[in-house]
Amino acid sequence: MLQKILEHVLGRVARAVVKKYRPKIIAITGSVGKTTTRAACSAVVETRFRVRASAKNYNNELGVPITILGCAAPGRSPLKWLGIFLKGAWLLFSNDGLYPQVLILEMGADHPGDLAYLTSIAPPDIGVVTAVSAAHTEFFESIEGVLAEKKIVVTSVRVGGAAIINMDDAQLEKIRGEIRVPIFSFGFGDGASVRGRDVTVRYDSTGAPDGMEAEVVVDGQEMTIAVARALGRPVIYAALAAIAVGRAMELSAADMQRGLASFYPPAGRMRIVDGIKHTVLIDDTYNASPRAAREALDVLATVHTDGRRIAVLGDMLELGALTESAHREIGTCVADLKIDVLVTVGATARFIADAARASGMSDGAIFSFDTSVAAGAFIQERMHVGDLILIKGSQGARCEKIVKEIMAEPLRAEELLVRQDKTWV
């Protein structure tokens, strides 16, 4: 009850602040890629504007208003909560000449109605939907339910604004007719407003993967973009979405290219981390959905390595009725991609192991553990020089503990990994 009261009051204050200062609102949602896209958009837009973007996972009924007010999450501290409301009062009854010109707000949705509420607080001038897939289907029952929720961010854009959608997502093609503002699409198809092509992995002088590079075509102009210390097409999708936002805001190609040069994907999103024993870790431990898991496995299967390819996969949560089938599909994918070793973490992730085994993967290459701590200790002993290791799981699986166990510089865990503050550790 107390949380609901706080949400209500904080929402009213944040709504009033938005109405007073009139920042341009860029709202970002999607089943996957929200945070990476938010970081890429921030890097691009701040080349020309004073920007504030959501921090950490500030994407819900409390996080969005807190971002609008420019505060940090107060936890359970009454004094810090008081500080937030005093900050809101100050913004409303004085004039902050340095208030952001642009707010880039990540908006998440766990239940139907979440995005309608968040967009009522901060009506978007630019709405971005990264993708729609089976995530949080425990509460939406189907992908159609997820689409009905996510589309609100682009169907509620204010007059004079723009909608940014992933052209390669078949679900998003279904809602084009409901969007009443100009659409800037991104993707790899010929009709995309911002089209990527020739995506390649960059390797360092030792032959280890070091990032991604792609060619981008915007209004007939070509540019090369590079993203350091991260792997996979999803990070390029984030960059393409950011360029689409830049185009909608009439930024120059030089501005967008310069912004992306400083873009560094957030922790736990396909980040390259040096491992012990001269191994390379692909840290994708922030969260997991079936679509993101398949994409991460594709990266593991295609990036060059002199060692083995090892997939460490934790539970994918909040899938409801799709839980077993979704995990089994990932297990089949692991076997089809000829991954050398599979390690699963958690009860539902055992369905991944079962399906991989049923699809022909050797039983001697499959290992299952109940906890990330046990899995981390096992992997540490089994790693070989040159191995390429993907670690991925939903937040509840706590697979970042595995990364910390096997990373070359564990003293940098707070800097490099997710969930390292005192509320988690």
Give the per-residue pLDDT at 73. 87
Asked whether residue 422 is assigned to any structural domain, the reply reads no
Asked whether residue 194 is assigned to any structural domain, the reply reads yes
Strands 102-106 and 24-29: parallel
Which whole-number Å values give the CA distances from 372 to 77, 215, 343, in the listed order? 31, 38, 10
Q: Taking all residues of the chain, what is their mean pLDDT, rounded to a whole number?
A: 95
What residue type is 90 in one-letter code?
W
- Quick one: average pLDDT of 43-67? 95
Beta bridge partners of 46: none
Statement to judge: residues 279 and 366 lie in one domain:
yes
How far apart (Å, rounded) are the C-alpha atoms in residues 384 and 308? 8
| Run of H or E residues at 200 | strand 194-203
Of 261, 288, 307, which residue is a domain's last? 261
CA dihedral (135, 137, 143, 145) in degrees, to 10, reads: -120
Which range of residues forms the domain containing residue 171? 2-261
Statement to judge: residues 179 and 302 lie in one domain:
no
Which of 5-14, 324-333, 344-353 shows the lowest mean pLDDT across its residues? 5-14
- Quick one: average pLDDT of 271-289? 96
pTM of the model: 0.89
How far apart (Å, rounded) are the C-alpha atoms in residues 39 and 189? 24
Number of compact structural domains in the chain = 2
Q: Which two tokens stand for residue 171?
A: 């679900």
Asked whether residue 425 is assigned to any structural domain, the reply reads no
Q: Which two tokens stand for residue 294?
A: 């398949």
Asked whether residue 374 is assigned to any structural domain, the reply reads yes
Higher pLDDT residue, 57 or 99? Answer: 99
Asked whether residue 287 is assigned to any structural domain, the reply reads yes
Helix (H, G, I), strand (E, B) or coil at 134: coil
Which of 141-150, 184-193, 238-247, 355-364 shows the lowest mean pLDDT across its residues? 141-150
Give the per-residue pLDDT at 110. 87
How far apart (Å, rounded) are the C-alpha atoms in residues 341 and 347? 19
Q: How confident is the model at residue 358 (pLDDT cuts 50, 70, 90)?
A: very high
Give the per-residue pLDDT at 137. 58
Give the per-residue pLDDT at 260. 93
Give the per-residue pLDDT at 406. 98
Statement to judge: residues 224 and 152 lie in one domain:
yes
What's the pLDDT tens digit per position in 102-153? 999 999 998 899 999 999 999 999 999 999 986 655 677 788 999 999 999 9
Q: How confident is the model at residue 193 (pLDDT cuts 50, 70, 90)?
A: very high
Closest CA to 243 of 172, 303, 168, 185: 185
Give the per-residue pLDDT at 135. 60
Q: How confident is the model at residue 32 (pLDDT cuts 50, 70, 90)?
A: confident
CATH code of residue 109: 3.40.1190.10
CATH code of residue 336: 3.90.190.20
Assess contact for 179 and 155: CB atoms under 8 A. Answer: yes
What's the pLDDT tens digit per position in 155-172? 999 999 999 999 999 999
Statement to judge: residues 133 and 56 lie in one domain:
yes
How far apart (Å, rounded) are the C-alpha atoms in residues 141 and 317? 14
Give the per-residue pLDDT at 184. 97
Give the per-residue pLDDT at 219. 84
Percent of the chain's residues with pLDDT above 70:
99
Statement to judge: residues 13 and 76 lie in one domain:
yes
Q: How confident is the model at residue 74 (pLDDT cuts 50, 70, 90)?
A: confident
Of 261, 290, 318, which residue is a domain's last? 261
Statement to judge: residues 140 and 243 lie in one domain:
yes
Strands 309-314 and 279-284: unpaired
How far apart (Å, rounded) are the C-alpha atoms in residues 367 and 357? 11
Statement to judge: residues 257 and 342 lie in one domain:
no
- Quick one: average pLDDT of 347-355? 98
Higher pLDDT residue, 141 or 394? Answer: 394
Q: How confident is the model at residue 252 (pLDDT cuts 50, 70, 90)?
A: very high
Statement to judge: residues 252 and 321 lie in one domain:
no
Statement to judge: residues 28 and 122 lie in one domain:
yes
Of 217, 235, 261, which residue is a domain's last? 261
Asked whether residue 423 is assigned to any structural domain, the reply reads no
Cβ-based neighbours of 1, under 8 Å, separated by 6 or more: none
Q: How confident is the model at residue 269 (pLDDT cuts 50, 70, 90)?
A: very high
Statement to judge: residues 245 and 283 lie in one domain:
no
Statement to judge: residues 98 and 215 lie in one domain:
yes
Integer Rg of the chain from CA? 21
- Quick one: average pLDDT of 69-84? 91
Asked whether residue 222 is assigned to any structural domain, the reply reads yes
CA 207 to chain centre: 27
Which of 53-62, 181-190, 280-289, 362-371 shows the lowest mean pLDDT across its residues? 53-62
Give the per-residue pLDDT at 424. 84
Asked whether residue 387 is assigned to any structural domain, the reply reads yes
Statement to judge: residues 110 and 237 lie in one domain:
yes
Give the per-residue pLDDT at 57. 81
Assess contact for 51 and 64: CB atoms under 8 A. Answer: no
Give the per-residue pLDDT at 282. 98
- For every residue of the chain, which 3-state class applies, written as one string? CHHHHHHHHHHHHHHHHHHHHCCEEEEEECCCCHHHHHHHHHHHHCCCCCEEECCCCCCCCCHHHHHHHCCCCCCCCHHHHHHHHHHHHHHHHCCCCCCCCEEEEECCCCCCCHHHHHHHHCCCCEEEECCCCCCCHHHHCCHHHHHHHHCHHHHCCCCCCEEEEECCCHHHHCCHHHCCCCEEEEECCCCCCEEEEEEEEEECCCCCEEEEEEEEEECCEEEEEEEECECCHHHHHHHHHHHHHHHHCCCCHHHHHHHHHCCCCCCCCCEEEEEHHHEEEEEECCCCCHHHHHHHHHHHHHCCCCCCEEEEEECCCCCHHHHHHHHHHHHHHHHHCCCCEEEEECCCCHHHHHHHHHCCCCHHHEEEECCHHHHHHHHHHHCCCCCEEEEECCHHHCCHHHHHHHECCHHHHHHHCCCCCCCCC
